[in-house]
């Protein structure tokens, strides 16, 4: 199972996962041209993608979904509420190949299963995901306001994970954001801090790697996020950071 974060952050999100003969994209927050360019750098092609799966209705996750579908023809999997809000907010244009799922439902692509789970975030009807082949599991846990007991249980079964590590509390507290926005970020429908992310990873006894994702441009720093995690998680766990501006490279399990 191979994965590439094509970009991660409030400026746009897109993750590519391949296992067996299936190629899946999660979210469409960067342009189709940029997604294709970054995939091509690793010998992959958007035209080989089997499906696009959308996590929630915020623009940094869904704004280019219509272009992806019209240009490349693959189906888009999205919840009905997310679709309704995304169409209204982001002018997605005409989409022909839409498949609705309910958060908590499995989406099957032959022997590859995508398990969706409700996400505590202020998007409409948002989801996080676990992608399972017969032998491996990768989680995509971003845009999470708090860590539920289900997440601890789920991460214990994963081989790898993209995990939100959005902010450093001190940087946020001392930063220029208005009070209501700071409360939104730290609240139960906002984002995870570096320490919250690291503490969740402690439950992942089987994890081979974790990729820290959705880092804030203003309230975090990649080296600080890594340092906070290294103070908490075991040395054997490989850590990567998903960039706000470029692809990670191919991460394998």
DSSP the chain: -EEEEEE-STT--EEEEEETTEEEEE---S-HHHHHHHHHTTT--GGG--EEE---SSHHHHTTHHHHHHHH---EEE-HHHHHHHHHHH-----S-EEE--TT-EEEETTEEEEEEE--SSSTT-EEEEEE-SS-EEEEE-S-SS--HHHHHHHTT-SEEEEE--B-HHHHHHSS--HHHHHHHHSTTS--BHHHHHHHHTT-TT-SEEEEE---SSS--HHHHHHHHHTTS-TTSEEEE--SSS----EE-
pLDDT single digits (tens) 229-238: 999 999 999 9
pLDDT single digits (tens) 91-110: 888 888 999 999 999 999 99
CA distance 112 to 22: 7
CA distance 79 to 77: 7
CA torsion 66→70→73→76, rounded to 10°? 10
Q: Is 87 exposed, middle or buried (0-12, 13-18, 19+ CB in 10 A)?
A: middle
Query: If pLDDT is split at 50, 70 and 90, which confidence band does 188 have?
Result: confident
Q: Which of 162, 3, 24 is nearest to 99 (CA)?
A: 24
CA-based angle 62:103:69, to the nearest 5?
Answer: 30
CA distance 149 to 128: 14
Q: Are 12 and 62 in contact (CB under 8 A)?
A: no
Q: Which two tokens stand for residue 233?
A: 């998680």
pLDDT > 90? residue 73: yes
pLDDT single digits (tens) 95-148: 889 999 999 999 999 999 999 999 877 777 889 999 999 999 999 999 888 888
- Cross-sheet strand order for the sheet of 98-100: 98-100, 76-78, 51-53, 22-26, 14-19, 2-7, 251-252
Comparing 242 with 87, which gets the higher pLDDT?
A: 242
> What is the pLDDT, as a whole number, of residue 171?
97
> What is the pLDDT, as a whole number, of residue 39?
98
Q: Which structural domains are found in the chain, ordered by start? A: 2-252 (3.60.15.10)
Beta strand 2-7 pairing with 22-26: unpaired
> What is the pLDDT, as a whole number, of residue 120?
76
Task: Kindly state the percentage of the chain with pLDDT values over 90.
Answer: 83
pTM of the full predicted structure?
A: 0.96
């Amino acid at each position: 199972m191979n994965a590439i974060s094509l970009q991660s952050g409030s400026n746009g999100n897109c993750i590519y996962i391949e296992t067996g003969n299936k190629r899946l994209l999660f979210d469409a927050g960067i342009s189709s041209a940029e997604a294709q360019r970054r995939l091509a750098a690793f010998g992959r092609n958007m035209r080989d993608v089997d499906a696009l799966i959308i996590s929630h209705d915020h623009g940094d996750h869904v704004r280019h979904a219509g272009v992806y579908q019209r240009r490349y023809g693959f189906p888009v999997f999205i919840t009905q509420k997310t679709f309704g809000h995304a169409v209204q907010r982001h002018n997605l244009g005409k989409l022909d190949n839409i498949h609705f799922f309910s958060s908590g439902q499995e989406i099957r692509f032959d022997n590859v299963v995508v398990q969706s789970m409700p996400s505590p975030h202020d998007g409409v009807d948002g989801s996080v995901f676990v992608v399972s082949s017969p032998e491996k599991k990768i989680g995509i846990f971003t845009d999470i306001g708090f860590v539920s007991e289900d997440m601890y249980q789920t991460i214990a079964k994963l081989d790898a994970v993209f995990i939100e590590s959005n902010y450093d509390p001190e940087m946020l507290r001392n930063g220029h954001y208005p009070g209501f926005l700071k409360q939104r970020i730290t609240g139960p429908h906002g984002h995870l801090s570096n320490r919250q992310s690291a503490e969740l990873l402690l439950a992942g006894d089987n994890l081979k790697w974790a990729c820290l994702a959705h880092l804030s441009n203003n309230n975090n720093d990649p080296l600080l996020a890594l340092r906070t995690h290294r103070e908490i998680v075991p040395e054997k766990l490989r850590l990567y950071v998903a960039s706000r501006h470029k692809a990670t490279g191919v991460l394998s399990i």
